[in-house]
């Protein structure tokens, strides 16, 4: 059974099943699916999982761990990987098994992070397959820091 932290928002049609643990102040938006049936999913505090996101793992080989203050954009797929604190996975991006997205990194919208890829902290990766582009600049770093707090506010509108 899922373990849901304090002050979380789960949209009416979000699906959270199996071995899933959500930290405090997380939000799981409309039509998002967190399916912890074949392996565990652990999500840190103040993480937002936006509309249509799918989070899953691979049986016996790849659990999914998402740290605190992470933003996962609409329709992204996060599968059997690690996403470290403060990172942002862009809309429609795919992150595959055993990849590690470093703290404060940005995976651009529509990118595909191949299995086993190690994304350096604070770096922008983009493309198919995703490749290192440049360090996250100050303006984008502020967006990455602000977005989780914005989603806590947005979730409050549904209380």
Distance of CA 41 to the CA centre of its chain: 11
- pLDDT-derived band at 159, boundaries 50, 70, 90: confident
Structure tokens at 59: 């049986």
Distance of CA 112 to the CA centre of its chain: 14
Q: What is the pLDDT of residues 10-29, one digit of tens each?
A: 999 999 999 999 999 999 99
Q: Residue 90's domain is classified under what CATH number?
A: 2.160.10.10
Enclosing domain of residue 147: 3-156
Structure tokens at 111: 């990118």
Domain total in the chain: 1
Q: What is the pLDDT of residues 76-122, one digit of tens each?
A: 999 999 999 999 999 999 999 999 999 999 999 999 999 999 999 99
């Amino acid at each position: 059974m899922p373990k849901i932290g304090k002050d979380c928002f789960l949209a009416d049609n979000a699906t959270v099943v199996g071995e899933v643990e959500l930290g405090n102040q997380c939000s799981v938006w409309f039509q998002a699916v967190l399916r912890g049936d074949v392996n565990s999913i652990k999500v840190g505090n103040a993480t937002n999982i936006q509309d249509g996101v799918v989070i899953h793992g691979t049986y016996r080989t790849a659990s999914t761990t998402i740290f605190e203050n992470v933003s996962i954009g609409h329709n992204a797929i996060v599968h059997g990987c690690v996403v470290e604190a403060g990172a942002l996975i862009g809309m429609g991006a795919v992150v595959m098994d055993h990849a590690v997205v470093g703290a404060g990194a940005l995976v651009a919208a529509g990118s595909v992070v191949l299995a086993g890829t190690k994304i350096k902290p604070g770096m922008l990766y983009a493309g198919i397959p995703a490749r290192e582009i440049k360090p996250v600049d100050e303006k984008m770093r502020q967006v990455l820091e602000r977005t989780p707090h914005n989603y806590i506010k947005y979730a409050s509108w549904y209380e």
